[in-house]
């Protein structure tokens, strides 16, 4: 091989390598979730949150102004939380210890009504306390599972919006937590944080499938708790 041929081959190799790297970069960009100038979404919300009107979030197409007595047009931690939840367009996976907040329940029911895949995992004891919204969710046809173990609590407080946005922190979905407690919530689309929560939700969902447990129990107690 002459020197000229060798240089030509090296040149072609370099071009091919450059094109290959470009193509891999292009593919990586296509496969990665959307990243703004600051990278994936990262937001921190602190509670308690003031009570303001959030009607516009439930019905963004509404044309007439809301006449309720609450303050309007104010962004709060709660309105941000609600906005993130209502941004769901495919699915909502919710894993929450205590769920009695009426507005959050309304949001979950609204998403279910829009045809989204909604799954809720909750605690065995807390799902039936006074004011719990779990019964309302089940009556609406939302698939709810609860911690089957009698000795541990399902104490998580996280939600996955469309499987790509994670909402997690100390906040239980109760009016007390939202309006009175000092609580924190992180909202993120960082895949390295979202994926373990997706995996854990799937694992807990399967582990708490009553179909896998009922056959160990007498039939009279098999469904006790499941339909509460
Ligand atoms: Zn209003």
CATH architecture under which domain 42-61+70-222 falls? 2-Layer Sandwich (3.30)
Please tell me the predicted confidence (pLDDT) of residue 225. 43
pLDDT score at 7: 62
**Ligand 1 centroid to residue 51 C-alpha, Å:** 11
Please tell me the distance from the alpha carbon of residue 90 to that of residue 131, in angstroms, as a whole number. 28
Q: What is the pLDDT of residues 151-160, one digit of tens each?
A: 889 999 999 9
DSSP state of 33: P
Split at pLDDT 50, 70, 90, the class of 214 is low
Q: Going along 23-180, which residue ranges are E strands?
A: 42-47, 91-96, 117-122, 143-146, 157-161, 165-169
- As a whole number of angstroms, the distance between CA 62 and CA 65 comes to 8
Residues lining ligand 1 (ion), CB within 5 A? 53, 55, 66, 68
Q: What is the pLDDT at residue 221?
A: 44
Catalytically annotated residues: 155, 157, 162
What separation in Å is there between the alpha carbon of 105 and the centre of ligand 1?
A: 18
Residue-range domain boundaries for the chain: 1-31, 42-61+70-222
From the list 63, 68, 60, 61, the residue with the least C-alpha distance to 86 is 60
pTM, full prediction: 0.77
Of 81-90, 131-140, 171-180, 215-224, give the lowest mean pLDDT range: 215-224
Greatest C-alpha distance within the chain: 88
CB 223 within 8 A of CB 214: yes
Q: Which has the higher per-residue pLDDT, 88 or 1?
A: 88
Residue 42 Cα, ligand 1 centroid: separation in angstroms?
28
Kindly tell me if the per-residue pLDDT of 47 is higher than 70.
yes
Contact 123, 146 (CB under 8 A): yes
Least confident of 23-32, 56-65, 152-161, 201-210: 23-32
Task: Please name the residues in contact with 55: beta carbons below 8 A apart, sequence gap of 6 or more.
Answer: 62, 66, 68
Predicted local confidence at residue 179, as pLDDT: 95
């Amino acid at each position: 091989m002459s020197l000229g041929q060798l240089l030509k081959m090296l040149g072609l190799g370099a071009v091919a390598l450059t094109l290959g790297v470009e193509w891999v970069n292009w593919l990586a960009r296509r496969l990665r979730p959307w990243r703004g100038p600051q990278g994936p979404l990262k937001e921190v919300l602190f509670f308690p949150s003031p009570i303001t009107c959030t009607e516009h979030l439930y019905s963004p197409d509404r044309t007439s102004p809301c006449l309720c007595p609450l303050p309007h047009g104010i962004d709060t931690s709660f309105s941000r939380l609600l906005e993130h939840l209502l941004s769901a367009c495919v699915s909502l996976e919710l894993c929450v210890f205590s769920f009695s907040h009426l507005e959050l329940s309304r949001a979950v029911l609204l998403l279910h009504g829009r045809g989204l895949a909604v799954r809720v995992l909750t605690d065995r004891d807390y799902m039936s306390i006074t004011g719990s919204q779990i019964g309302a969710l089940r009556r609406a046809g939302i698939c709810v599972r609860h911690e089957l173990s009698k000795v541990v609590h399902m104490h998580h407080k996280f939600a996955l919006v469309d499987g790509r946005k994670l909402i997690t922190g100390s906040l239980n979905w109760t009016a007390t937590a939202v309006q009175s407690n000092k609580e924190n919530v992180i909202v993120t689309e960082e895949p390295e944080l979202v994926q373990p929560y997706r995996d854990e939700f799937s694992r807990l969902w399967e582990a708490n499938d009553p179909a896998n447990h009922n056959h160990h129990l007498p039939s009279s107690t098999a469904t006790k708790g499941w339909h509460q």
